[in-house]
């Protein structure tokens, strides 16, 4: 550990020298140690730590990123005393009335480190495309799909973990997965008629009871140390969200948790989740849920769940409260429910047209849907203007497995991909006629036996926690302030653009 601390000190010194920055101190303070919980009546599983941990890795990286951000915008950092920058007053873009009324789409207004979404290329995680991530991120023993834990490490650090680091990180996360007894009791007491997402929100919010960030903030800590307990809470939140999700599934659909399998510490989060909801024996389900979790982790910061995490976290609410708020947004029909709508559309088409209809019949069905004023779910995206690379990864997974490829429901996914873009282009009311990730995800879950549509968004929520909370750690590491954009009334907008609108008081 001494060498790690020395490395941190060198990172500070080197960054200062390279950027002409004078740090308040290059003395390395003792590594953060979580405070003893004041709630000892709720047992917590012992935690496993790798020889090189994600905590150590971030401690080395953060000073360098802080120095870079200081160059872009002065006075961002509590740790840097130099003033002035040649970039702080540079213009990133203009804001139009259309954008203000149109959900702020396209406004460049957030810092988001783990991923950037390009309208043509799709998502890049720390500069890597999905196929590139699939090539370099470690897989589970005997598996072919990238481990979500490896993706989580990568999103947090921007560095590809070794197989050993990914394995140790997986073990640490699984060791954190056990729920406090009071959370288990709270979830078990909820009516099974309550929507699974509402149960999920309650479970994650309740974890705030043991928040290390909240406890350390109350005791008093330096701003430079905010990221450390934020990271600890974020790791707990991600790990425990899988166990919360599994418990919700068993209570809601399987009659309770009496026979719920125990966590297996040598297995990954996705395997344990699959096993606890009854799919541990399905190699195909385990692999697809690994891929699903890795692909859904992050999609830059402007989507509702990611932005909500950032916004609520900017008030220095702890990660549990921030992410429970995000889950409320994810539960909305315009965000996390889309794959359900796709599957309902496909099943309705199958009921009317049968298995493997002709292209002409499916084309006619699509036109009838559009002419009735409805949309084709799973097509179009607020940013993308090409097929979603996440869709392509899921489609390739299905096509690589004979049992999926011959499934008529998955067959509809492929057939729609061939026909729908042309129809939507001819229809002329969409900027992006191509499929997004929701076009394929639901059909794969359905194929392997997960047929409870209301639960699909919960699986989205376990995955998205990794991306949203990775950035929340960076929010605290970079010292980003409380988010507070300016709002305008319609009268104020009209005045600014010098528009004389009848009936509008200036």
Active site residues: 335, 381, 438
> Can you say how many angstroms the Cα of residue 265 is from the centroid of all Cα atoms in its chain?
24
Asked if 379 and 439 count as a contact pair (C-beta separation under 8 A), the reply is yes
Query: Please, what's the b/e burial string for 266-297 (b: 16 or more CB within 10 A of its CB; e: otherwise)?
Result: ebbbbbbbbbbbbbbebebbbbbbbbbbbbbb
Query: Please, what's the b/e burial string for 324-356 (b: 16 or more CB within 10 A of its CB; e: otherwise)?
Result: bbbbbbbbeeebbbbbbbbbebbbebbeeeeee
What is the distance between the alpha carbons of residues 132 and 128, in angstroms, rounded to a whole number? 6
Residue 449 has which token pair? Answer: 């036996």
Residue 468 has which token pair? Answer: 């949203």
What is the distance between the alpha carbons of residues 201 and 327, in angstroms, rounded to a whole number? 6
What is the distance between the alpha carbons of residues 314 and 182, in angstroms, rounded to a whole number? 28
First vs last C-alpha separation in the chain: 64
Q: Which of 113, 177, 114 is nearest to 151 (CA)?
A: 114
Q: What is the 3-state secondary structure (H, E, C) of 231-258?
A: HHHHHHHHHHHHHHHHHHHHHHHCCCCC
Residue 57 neighbours by CB under 8 Å, 6+ apart: 153, 156, 157, 159
Residue 67 has which token pair? Answer: 């120095």
């Amino acid at each position: 550990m001494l060498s790690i601390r020395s490395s941190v000190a060198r990172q500070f010194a080197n960054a200062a020298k390279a950027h002409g920055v004078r740090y308040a101190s290059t003395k390395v303070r003792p590594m953060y140690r979580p405070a003893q919980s004041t709630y000892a009546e709720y047992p917590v599983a012992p935690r496993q730590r790798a020889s090189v941990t994600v905590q150590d890795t971030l401690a080395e990286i953060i000073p360098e990123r802080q120095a870079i951000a200081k160059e872009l915008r002065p006075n961002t950092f509590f740790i840097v005393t130099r003033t002035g920058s040649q970039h702080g007053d540079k213009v990133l873009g203009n804001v139009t009335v259309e954008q203000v009324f149109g959900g702020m789409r396209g406004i460049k207004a957030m810092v988001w480190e783990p991923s950037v979404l390009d309208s043509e290329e799709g998502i890049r995680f720390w500069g890597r495309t999905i196929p590139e991530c699939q090539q370099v991120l470690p897989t589970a023993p005997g598996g072919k799909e990238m481990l979500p834990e490896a993706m989580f490490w990568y999103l947090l650090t921007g560095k590809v973990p070794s197989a050993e680091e990914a394995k140790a990180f997986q073990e640490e996360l699984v060791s954190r997965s056990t729920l406090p007894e009071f959370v288990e009791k709270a979830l078990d007491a909820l009516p099974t008629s309550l929507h699974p997402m509402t149960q999920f929100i309650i479970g994650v919010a309740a974890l705030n009871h043991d928040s290390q960030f909240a406890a350390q903030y109350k005791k008093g800590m330096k701003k430079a140390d905010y990221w450390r307990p934020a990271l600890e809470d974020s790791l707990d939140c991600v790990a425990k969200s899988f166990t919360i999700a599994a418990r919700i599934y068993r209570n809601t659909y399987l009659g309770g948790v009496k026979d719920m399998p125990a966590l297996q510490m040598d297995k990954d989060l996705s395997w344990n989740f699959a096993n606890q909801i009854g799919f541990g024996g399905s190699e195909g389900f385990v692999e697809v849920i690994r891929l699903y979790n890795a692909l859904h982790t992050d999609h830059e910061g402007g989507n509702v769940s990611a932005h909500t995490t950032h916004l609520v976290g900017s008030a220095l609410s702890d990660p549990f409260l921030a992410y429970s708020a995000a889950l409320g947004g994810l539960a909305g029909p315009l965000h996390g429910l889309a794959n359900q709508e796709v599957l309902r559309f496909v099943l309705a088409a199958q009921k009317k047209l049968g298995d493997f209809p002709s292209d002409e019949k499916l084309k006619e069905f699509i036109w009838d849907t559009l002419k009735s004023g409805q949309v084709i779910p799973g097509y179009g995206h607020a940013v993308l203007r090409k097929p979603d690379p996440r869709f392509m990864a899921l489609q390739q997974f299905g096509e690589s497995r004979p049992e999926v490829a011959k499934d008529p429901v998955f067959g509809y996914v492929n057939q729609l991909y061939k026909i729908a873009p042309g129809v939507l282009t001819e229809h002329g009311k969409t900027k992006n006629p191509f499929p997004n990730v929701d076009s394929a995800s639901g059909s794969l879950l359905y194929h392997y036996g997960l047929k409870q549509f209301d639960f699909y968004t919960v699986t989205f929520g376990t995955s998205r926690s990794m991306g949203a909370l990775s950035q929340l750690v960076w929010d605290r590491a970079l010292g980003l302030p409380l988010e507070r954009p300016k709002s305008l009334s319609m009268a104020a907008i009209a005045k600014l653009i010098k528009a004389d609108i009848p009936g509008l008081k200036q």
